[in-house]
Structure 1
Amino acid sequence: MSYDFDFSFLAEKWPAFVAGAWLTVQLTVVSIALGFAVGTICALCRVYGGAVLRRLVGGYVELIRNTPLLVQIFIVYFGLSSLGLKLSAEVSAVIALVVNMGAYTTEIMRAGLQSIQRTQLEAADCLGLTRLQAIIHVVLLPAMERVYPALSSQAVLLMLASSITSQISAEELTATANLVQSDTYRSFEVYIVVAVVYLALSALYRLAFWLLALVLFERKRRLGTAL
């Protein structure tokens, strides 16, 4: 059995792959940023909030972590449409990815927050820091530094998982590949190209998170161990 590889379609189709990859980056960068914000707020509520708030956040986390991302995307896209709220595929994808990222970030950040001793908050009070200053400088930044490798890995996983949004016709990289292979009938070659692009995006994201860590964390900047 022999197979002749033919990548000649790239000469014509490469702009479509670039557009798909760019949309993947846009979707995931927005989703990671908003998901981190949602997760951080929920983690603070789960660690420092009242009993009712902790239970509500815990329910949200368990619901999202124990259901498939594809089902969550369908609920947002088809479910909201059935209720009369029609959203584009891209907006629906971002909402679903933010909700998903937020749940996982909640647990990651909760672990970081719980590693901060309450005596450090008491010391911040003695130094005259406001509650907001204490939360940012004494709690959030040190907690984030401790769990940063897990956060960055989760963000890369979200970028890879964004391929599922092709199921609701979001024209990201995987959706583009599906269209190209249906047009060229070169499925093997098309998905090899897509795999290489995802590998490149993963490396790019890890580099971006490494550079971000150097900016955010002085100790890591001194040691040169951003991740």
Structure 2
Amino acid sequence: MTYTFDFASVLASWPQFLEGAWMTILLSFPATVIGFVGGTLLAIGRRGDKRWVARACGIYVEVLRNTPLLVQVFLVFFGLASLGWKVSAFSAALLSLVINVAAYSCEIMRAGMDSIHRGQIEAAECLGLTRRQIYWHVVLRPAMEKVYPALTSQFVLLMLASSITSQISVEELTAVAARVQSETFRPFEAYILVAVAYLILSLLMRLGLWVFGQIVFTRKRKLGSAK
């Protein structure tokens, strides 16, 4: 049994694939930024002195990290509609990705914060730094620097996981591939093309995050560490 590849009919739909790639970026970029901020706040809450805040943050993280993203997407999309809040598929997808990546970012950032030696914080307190200054200069930035490779991997995984949002009709790459293969009857070629597109997006995202790290973490760059 032989199979003859024919990418011509699939490649003819390249404008649709470009639109799908752009939609993937529109989902991934804001979800990464907002989710990271939310995850950092959750990490601060989990490490805080107020027990009820720490417990609430812990419950949030455990629930989100131990349930499938697809179920979370359905809960947001159909759940909000059942409550009378009509949201677009894109808004529901973005919200789902944000609340999901926030839970994972929380644990990564919490690990980074826990790695900061107590003596560094005490030294900053002796120097008269405010609580906010200590958190920013002594805890948050060094913590983020230590766990940045893990954050980078998590953000790339988020971009790849955005394919799940095709289940609620968000027109990202996977949804475009499904439509194109139904029109051309070339599913193998369509999904090969999408796999290559995701690979390119992943490499570009890793490159962008690496450049960002080189700009932000100047101390690490001066020490000659590329990781």
TM bucket by the smaller chain?
Answer: over 0.9
The one-letter code of the counterpart of 1:151 is L
The one-letter code of the counterpart of 1:47 is R
Note the alpha carbon deviations across 1:176-197, whole angstroms, 9 max, x for none: 1111111111000000000000
Residue 223 (structure 1) shift: 4.2
Moved over 6 A (4+): none
CA distance in 2 between partners of 1:121 and 1:224 (Å): 26
Note the alpha carbon deviations across 1:95-149, whole angstroms, 9 max, x for none: 0000000000111111001111222122112222222111111100000111111
CA distance in 2 between partners of 1:207 and 1:197 (Å): 15
1:7 is matched with: 7
Contact 1:213 1:226 in 2 (8 A): no
1:222 is matched with: 222
CA distance in 2 between partners of 1:219 and 1:92 (Å): 39
1:182 is matched with: 182
Identity, in percent, stands at 58
Contact 2:177 2:194 in 1 (8 A): yes
Alignment of 1:74-89 (within 5 A): 74-89=74-89
Aligned residues: 227
Which range moved further: 44-53 or 59-68?
Answer: 44-53
Provide closer, same or farther for how the CA distance between residues 226 and 91 of structure 1 changes in structure 2, counting only shifts above 3 A: farther
The one-letter code of the counterpart of 1:116 is I
Provide closer, same or farther for how the CA distance between residues 205 and 49 of structure 1 changes in structure 2, counting only shifts above 3 A: farther
Residue 34 (structure 1) shift: 0.5
CA RMSD in angstroms comes to 1.1
The one-letter code of the counterpart of 1:106 is C
Note the alpha carbon deviations across 1:165-220, whole angstroms, 9 max, x for none: 00000111101111111111100000000000000011011101100110111133
Q: Are residue 173 (structure 1) and residue 144 (structure 2) matched? A: no
CA distance in 1 between partners of 2:33 and 2:93 (Å): 14
1:204 is matched with: 204
Provide closer, same or farther for how the CA distance between residues 225 and 175 of structure 1 changes in structure 2, counting only shifts above 3 A: farther
CA distance in 2 between partners of 1:11 and 1:205 (Å): 24
Contact 1:31 1:98 in 2 (8 A): yes
Alignment of 1:49-128 (within 5 A): 49-128=49-128
Contact 1:173 1:194 in 2 (8 A): yes
2:23 is matched with: 23
Which range moved further: 41-50 or 180-189?
Answer: 41-50
- Secondary structure of the residue aligned to 2:121 is helix
Provide closer, same or farther for how the CA distance between residues 186 and 224 of structure 1 changes in structure 2, counting only shifts above 3 A: farther
Q: TM-score, normalised by structure 1?
A: 0.97
